Structure 1
Amino acid sequence: MNLRDLVRQLFLTSGKSIAEATDIKDLERFIKKFSPKSVGKKLIRFGGEGDGAYLLPDDLSGISKCFSPGVDEMSTFEEELAERYNIYSFMTDFSVDKPSIDSKFFHFDKKFLGNKNDEKFIRLEDWVQNNTNDDSDLLLQMDIEGAEYEVIIDTPKDVFKKFRIMVVEFHHLDMIFNKNAFKMVEAVFDKFSSDFTVAHIHPNNSRPIISKNSIEIPELLEFTFLRNDRVHLSDEKLKFPHDLDEQCAPHRPSRHLPKCWWN
């Protein structure tokens, strides 16, 4: 069984018995550790309206390249990076033949991001190494439908430290109610804990929020991380939803980040 299948199995079995349930104190500790902080920079929106758009810290000057696995049918995010900051985007997705927008700033590979290299998959470490030859900072925007867990586990921390800003969409996150899944998910997040701070979290309302006791976990959460050498923590009180947040799926019920994550 590969890691992606394990994630799905853990998600399907999460919380089915008391013996399997994660201790509430561990859940509270996890949420506190990875709750959003005021990083000393305002947030700006890239990608237009609805799904495929993200809030980033206003700290993009000097970023040379964006790595954006998971292309699907939209490239507005990458297009705005090119228009506003001349950032080149490297995109990869085996499910499409090319991005929806033609641009001299785009480079596309027809492969899925994964934990091996073959005719269908490429590892993040090798993809970045193949397309960078300088020391300038990078940007990562990763939405790969649940494969993020295996990719993060497979990728050395030194590779992630090349990214000044990272946006990662985490799928099936409510599986942390299962104590076995919790250990795996916490190990994934701990890859970032010493080098990055969470600058923003946005729940994708295409999936529900699962509640157990006092804990609410959205199934699908978009995390924005800022590398710690760019962070200037302040006491500014955060507000959710942010003024620039929009629902990803306008036809679905609105969902906002539960207060246990930020209040």
Structure 2
Amino acid sequence: MKKLLHKILRKKIKLFLEKLRYRNPNKNDIIKLISRLRPENTGIELIRLGNENDGGYLVPDVLKDIEACFSPGVGNVTSFESACAKMGMKIYMADASVVNPVPGNPQYNFIKKFIGKEGKDDFITLENWILDAGIDPKADLLLQMDIEGYEYEVLNSTSLRTLKRFKIVVIEFHELHMLWNPKYFSKAKKAFDKLLKNHVCVHIHPNNCCGIKEVNGIEFPVVAEFSFLRKNEIIELGNEIEIPHRLDRNNTNKKTIKLPEIWYVG
């Protein structure tokens, strides 16, 4: 009986401490975070790399001097990576859930690992993956990451120095409607804050796989693809952007969805 009471007490203490650690975000907190993520016109044209549907992404047309593309969560669709390879980039892919999708091609480097916050078992950190590649530390890189919700913890566990190596960052962010959850908001805000120190958002495309959800008067794309550009590459900053972009395409055969205006209109 005492053991049971101690277990219940420990659980209540843990929940209490968690509430102290994770403050409930209010509407202003959510809107402030969204406002910092709104895409900006950098004076650089966006182009589409990859498939016309899922697997294709919009990126700024500053790809010429990028040494390598790192693509965690590659799956079996490699159209984006193939487009980068044609531009002369070395391709690094990681995914423990698939076999090598492009075997026998020396331009493609594949490891059967998940990218995570720590390196153990089937996981490797983004930091160590890049170090193991042995690329010139001064070379510009591109990151295209779709790892089903683990993107926040990977960003939070990666140093600013490493993130700054990426001239372009493309990430599919998941469960955005969960920003109202205190613990989720805390880790997501920390990840976005870190990314926005050296990068600016240039495009958001809502994945029509999962629709739009309204929570407490704010509309969220449940899943969305974000494209970022390193700040030192920016030519100019303006507010006039094209949303949806003429090159945007549906990811699935489901109903087309539009990015809610709060995500791109100030």
Same fold (TM > 0.5): yes
Cα distance, 1:214 vs. partner? 3.9
Rounded Cα–Cα distance in structure 2 between residues aligned with 1:34 and 1:89: 28
Q: Structure 2: which amino acid aligns with 1:75? A: T
Rounded Cα–Cα distance in structure 1 between residues aligned with 2:141 and 2:129: 13
Equivalent in the alignment of 1:224: 227
Question: In percent, how many aligned pairs have the same letter?
Answer: 39
Is 1:253 equivalent to 2:229 in the alignment?
Answer: no
Rounded Cα–Cα distance in structure 1 between residues aligned with 2:102 and 2:254: 25
TM-score w.r.t. the length of structure 1 is 0.88
Rounded Cα–Cα distance in structure 2 between residues aligned with 1:109 and 1:133: 16
Is 1:98 equivalent to 2:100 in the alignment?
Answer: yes
**Partner SS for 1:169:** strand
Identify if the C-alpha distance between structure 1 residues 57 and 229 changes in structure 2 by more than 3 Å, giving closer, same or farther: same
Which stretch shows the higher mean deviation, 112-121 or 46-55?
112-121
Which ranges of structure 1 fall in alignment gaps of 5 or more residues?
1-19
* Contact kept? 1:94, 1:110, Cα under 8 Å: yes
Equivalent in the alignment of 1:117: 119
Which ranges of structure 2 fall in alignment gaps of 5 or more residues?
1-22
Cα distance, 1:133 vs. partner? 3.2
Identify if the C-alpha distance between structure 1 residues 243 and 102 changes in structure 2 by more than 3 Å, giving closer, same or farther: farther
Q: What does 1:1-263 correspond to in 2, within 5 Å?
A: 22-83=25-86, 85-100=87-102, 103-134=105-136, 135-235=138-238, 237-249=240-252, 251-263=253-265
Q: Structure 2: which amino acid aligns with 1:215? A: I
1:129-171 deviations in Å (ceiling 9; x for gaps): 1113311100000001111111111111111001000001111
* Contact kept? 2:143, 2:168, Cα under 8 Å: yes
Identify if the C-alpha distance between structure 1 residues 159 and 205 changes in structure 2 by more than 3 Å, giving closer, same or farther: same
Q: Structure 1: which amino acid aligns with 2:78? A: S
Rounded Cα–Cα distance in structure 1 between residues aligned with 2:104 and 2:30: 44
**Partner SS for 2:228:** strand
Which stretch shows the higher mean deviation, 219-228 or 97-106?
97-106
Rounded Cα–Cα distance in structure 1 between residues aligned with 2:106 and 2:178: 41
Q: Structure 1: which amino acid aligns with 2:123? A: F
**Partner SS for 1:32:** helix
Q: Structure 2: which amino acid aligns with 1:68? A: S
**Partner SS for 1:175:** helix
Q: Structure 2: which amino acid aligns with 1:259? A: E
**Partner SS for 1:168:** strand
Rounded Cα–Cα distance in structure 2 between residues aligned with 1:30 and 1:158: 23
Identify if the C-alpha distance between structure 1 residues 256 and 156 changes in structure 2 by more than 3 Å, giving closer, same or farther: same
Q: Structure 1: which amino acid aligns with 2:245? A: H
**Partner SS for 1:64:** strand
Cα distance, 1:179 vs. partner? 3.2
* Contact kept? 1:169, 1:220, Cα under 8 Å: yes
**Partner SS for 2:66:** coil
* Contact kept? 2:177, 2:215, Cα under 8 Å: no
Rounded Cα–Cα distance in structure 2 between residues aligned with 1:218 and 1:24: 17
Cα distance, 1:101 vs. partner? 6.7
Rounded Cα–Cα distance in structure 1 between residues aligned with 2:127 and 2:238: 36
1:102-150 deviations in Å (ceiling 9; x for gaps): 5332100001111222341110000001113311100000001111111
Rounded Cα–Cα distance in structure 2 between residues aligned with 1:170 and 1:142: 9
* Contact kept? 1:75, 1:101, Cα under 8 Å: no
Identify if the C-alpha distance between structure 1 residues 102 and 211 changes in structure 2 by more than 3 Å, giving closer, same or farther: farther
Count how many residue pairs are aligned between Structure 1 and Structure 2. Answer: 242
